[in-house]
A and B are shown apart, each in its own frame.
Chain A
């Protein structure tokens, strides 16, 4: 791709301090990691204090808050448990996301070292490292998560589009179908006072309705 336009001269140069403040992304190859370290024991302390109320002291999840550990080997189950250990491909994402967006409701309050420590604790919770492990900016990229090879790039152009393209059947396309599932059997949709699905159109052609509306 090429950019055809000449610059207009708008904006001003970003200062190093500004870039450092806002560009905290960490890439899978370790780009963006900052100098620091944290061990599992420290991570457990920080995690229990700042994260355990939602995610559980062992990262197992409280109530319906996200489960961060476990579920390894469950991805072909009827109800897979997708966690850092069972599903996430890269440790960089763990560090980056926690550092930038957690704790929920008080994001960007964790130091670089806190984040290394929590990341180490999550590795331990998922059985990836021993309890004396120390995670640093230098050994970070040596860690491979269990599901690192579990993803492939969108292949719909090969696996679906040819099957779903072409002139479709218009007449006598098969036997008359039967109803196999009804949403009303679940009864989980919000309802209006009269029991209908919430937002159902009001009756407009009875004189009494407009007055009551």
Chain B
């Protein structure tokens, strides 16, 4: 154990930090409990604080509020070197700092191919054409008159964790697993819009594209389009954010984020896949023999421990420790999450906190009593199909290291005795 207080960025070692450090170096939980008993009264309790005497902000101060400034670390972050242009790029959700399952929209990740465009409801048009009885144009006001549905779903970029295929590269689950968000959507079912146009029997595929310059066209088989695909207007109770497709985006439950076309402007019905750029050059997965998988739409079962993690070191010393994390599967609901403290030698089943909704983020917790020794933390998701989240080595044995997309491997965090946490690979 270290002699130093397990902190950085503070202003020297306070008395409390000293006591905690002593406890960590001492006899474990009993000593820690004893050390937690204050010798002197806490002035935050014994002295009247300003907020207990004077006014706070008035109700007219913030018509639409932002998080309190103490939470300024809970923001999207980008990694400049990942892409050649910030308008065809990615940023990352601060999943290390979030709890529960709903992602606050303001820090939910973005991925654009030609920037986040501004498209008003007045200028919005949606076209359905191709192998339909009646090619149609809808205004936004038209779309508001269709029967509405609500669903919660994760949107995970196909490339989430893609930088980690070749090894441990980025430090923090925000960067290695944070191309994801999970929202409660309200919108209309795509099948109801298609019913309005009347799909002809030769129509086997739809092609969806956005109003932006990149267009992001993707082909979707009609079966999926008529199943659970939503044309969404609301996310987490309010209109979509500009950067998430305002005023209309596609929600494609369980499938790779690229297909969740934003600023949706056209749905074409065809007899075959278009094989657009985003389903040939990109979002195809190179395999060891030099051929590539295409149409790898579903995101497989996956999980990550969000705390402890490299951005969330353990600073409280030994004793009770909350292990918290997220699990999800594009193939259904999460059935179970196992957690290992020793790099996969032994596992214990964690607790699902809240609902395990199909194709949605699911929160798990495991409460342990940390004795201050090193740990190699892992989580392993299982979904309702019986699929068990694989190790990275198991995936690489099949796919090699140039798959680019669909890395759903088990993540290892090396928790050191000083409470610092690293992204590692183990063998």
The yes or no answer to B40 lying at the interface (CB within 8 A) is no
Name which residue of chain A comes closest to B214, CB basis. Answer: A101
| Distance of A165 Cα from B382 Cα, bound (Å) | 9
| A35 interfacial contact with B, CB 8 Å | no
Interchain nearest-CB distance for B28 vs A (Å): 20
A29, A97, A178: the one within 8 Å of B276 (CB) = A97
In the bound complex, residues from chain A placing their C-beta under 8 Å from that of B292 are 75, 87, 150-152
Q: How large is the interface on A (under 10, 10 to 19, 20 to 34, 35 or more residues)?
A: 35 or more
- Complexed CA–CA distance, A64 and B89 (Å): 13
* 151-184 of chain A: CB within 8 A of chain B: 151-156, 159-161, 163-166, 168-184
Report yes or no: A206 in contact with B346, Cβ–Cβ below 8 A.
no
Whether, in the assembled complex, B234 has its beta carbon less than 8 Å from a beta carbon of chain A, the answer is no
Which residues of chain B have C-beta atoms less than 8 A from A180's C-beta?
424-427
Interface size class of B (residues with CB under 8 A): 35 or more
In whole angstroms, what is the CA distance A174 to B340 when docked? Answer: 13
A7 and B263 CA atoms in complex are apart in Å by 24
Give min CB distance, B8 to chain A, whole Å: 6
- Stretch in A41-49, A116-124, A133-141, A187-195 touching the partner: A187-195
Chain B residue contacts of A154, Cβ below 8 A? 293-298
Q: Give the distance in Å from the alpha carbon of A105 to the alpha carbon of B137 in the complex.
A: 27
**Alpha-carbon distance A187/B14, docked complex (angstroms):** 31
Min CB–CB distance A89 → chain B (angstroms) = 6
Q: List B residues 334-378 near A (Cβ within 8 Å).
A: 338, 342-348, 376
> How far apart are B342's CB and chain A's nearest CB, in angstroms?
7
The CA of A93 and the CA of B218, in the complex, are separated in Å by 12
**Is B120 an interface position by the 8 A CB rule?**
no
Please tell me if the beta carbons of A11 and B136 are within 8 angstroms of each other in the complex.
yes
Contacts of A197 in B (CB 8 A): 171-172, 174-175, 310-311
Contact flags A1-37 to B (C-beta < 8 A → 1, else 0): 1111111111111100011001101111101000000
Closest chain-A Cβ to B372's Cβ sits at a distance in Å of 18
A92 part of interface (Cβ distance < 8 Å): yes
Chain B residue, CB-CB nearest to A7: B196
Q: By the criterion CB–CB under 8 Å, are B96 and A201 in contact?
A: yes
Q: Is B277 in contact with A93, judged by CB distance below 8 angstroms?
A: yes
Taking CB as reference atom, which chain A residue is nearest B75? Answer: A199
Instruction: Give A108 to B284 CA distance when docked, in angstroms.
Output: 25
The docked-state distance in angstroms from the alpha carbon of A64 to that of B380 is 37
Complexed CA–CA distance, A213 and B385 (Å):
47
- Chain B residue at smallest Cβ distance from A6: B195
Q: Does B402 contact A (CB under 8 A)?
A: yes
Question: Which of B85, B129, B215, B291 makes the CB contact (< 8 A) with A100?
Answer: B215
Q: Of all chain B residues, which has the CB nearest A75?
A: B290
The interface bits of chain B over 285-320 (1 if a CB of A lies within 8 angstroms of the residue's CB, else 0) are: 010111111111110100000000011110110000
Interface residues of A in 48-72 (CB under 8 A from B): 63-66
Interface pair A182/B388, CB less than 8 Å apart: no
A168 touches B192 (CB 8 A): no
The answer for the CA separation of A97 and B175 in the assembled complex, in Å, is: 30
**CB–CB A208/B10 < 8 A:** yes
Partner of A151, one of B88, B294, B310, B422: B294
B45 shortest CB reach to chain A, Å: 13
B61-77 to A contact mask, C-beta < 8 Å, 1/0: 00000000110011101
Q: Are A203 and B9 in contact (CB under 8 A)?
A: yes
Could you tell me if A152 and B286 are in contact, using CB atoms closer than 8 angstroms? Answer: no
**A18 lies within 8 A of B137 (CB):** yes
CB nearest to B278 among chain A residues: A97
Would you call A209 and B195 a contact (CB within 8 A)?
Answer: no
Determine the chain A residues whose CB is within 8 A of the CB of B213 once the complex forms: 101, 105, 107-108
B127 and A14 contacting across the interface, CB-CB below 8 Å: yes
Q: What are 27 A-to-B residue pairs whose CB atoms are below 8 Å? A: A3-B198, A5-B195, A7-B195, A8-B146, A14-B127, A76-B290, A89-B275, A89-B280, A96-B277, A97-B277, A97-B281, A108-B213, A151-B280, A154-B297, A156-B300, A163-B394, A163-B398, A164-B387, A165-B387, A176-B345, A180-B427, A182-B422, A189-B171, A196-B311, A200-B73, A201-B96, A203-B7
Known A-B contacts: A65-B84, A183-B168, A212-B11. Give 7 more (CB < 8 A).
Answer: A23-B127, A92-B275, A97-B276, A151-B294, A177-B427, A182-B414, A196-B311
